[in-house]
Structure 1
């Protein structure tokens, strides 16, 4: 039978164990290599996800594409005559195959950014895409539960993408002058081959709001496309260059956007004053004498404001107005 230890024996064993650990610690502290290991901190490097962009690069690219989202929202709002907001949710660098795996039920517009070489991708969820297409065709912006595009819808989607790419050109203006151009449209990620699967790409994830509808979209730019201009991806340089943009360039950009906005024009042939009793007695067939003379000019209003005067006319079997004079507002 084994001997049962007394309380004194247990305390003696614990004291001996504590002394042994203390001596081992002292020996380790005397070892210079052990001290160096203790002081040195490191992070494991994942060779499957190499970092191609520094924190400074990502910070600058974040500012650039926040500007892009704001300009794209403005362009689409003017084009579709509906308030649209785009907001950058996340900007990150990932392998291209990982980017494709994260997408589901989306349309992909491939584009280039001359003078930079290589292809990029603008991706949009079908729910958001059909909301914009419905709005473009005069509808209320209702989402459709489809994952295919008709032959009529495909050029409309390309047109929407081109409007968005105009904003990309404006956002990159502080770094270099780009000429983004849409090249193709795909509805399956397996046909989107802008980079090898393991290559690092810059992914800009965005959220779009169209009225009460909300959807996701993204821009994917391979690292090899941006690599020639990484030296310019400094937040200080970008801010300084942005500040030096001439007012003429800004005015030209705003003018180009405003030129696409449609406005209502109306022509008033004449006016007359009637008593309430006379209005109540009006009936079809009555003739009202207007205050405008027979050879007088009709007023033309643009967005509700008097801008021109002219003579009523006809053209191609339709009513028209021949402008005679412009009205200067003081």
Structure 2
């Protein structure tokens, strides 16, 4: 099988059934007995309390996750040999599989691995001989950067930018800020002087749609106030609290 082709779930399930039958045979089960998939709704029938701690191994390669062998507590067997045989059998069907060590884990924990868990077992009547359990590795959730955090900007098609060149944006200039109590606000009247948080002569903030984009100095042009831009900044340098 080509490693470039992603495995399908039916392929994994078929390999699991073949491997489970081989594991049961290695553990002294009936020769040639077919394994069957165990639906999650039927897991209580496995009687977890009657199962020995499973032997599990993390696996990388064509398939990634955990493979574990389950047997009854009354069955004294070599789980290491059985697990190795199961992994080798699945590798023949799926492609190279590399185990990274084995460990014991309670049967209940193996079966509580979530909706992606697959179980295949060999039974004599209603009694379990052995089962092989696959728990696929779940990729970690993507971590999104905090809102407003800067990051690399993807290349933008200049033709798309041209579509935005005639869009108007609101520009405002902020001289400074202050805080007042409700009582002080109610007492505002002509002649009241408001002290701001910025010293005289300090540059003013130029805001584009409320976002700090530049700083500059106030000048007069044709008897009207204007701002001469002295510094272009980014939103990440804006010290003002955000909503």
Same fold per superposition (TM over 0.5): no
Q: Which has the higher helix share?
A: 1
After TM superposition, the score normalised by the length of structure 1 is 0.30
After TM superposition, the score normalised by the length of structure 2 is 0.39
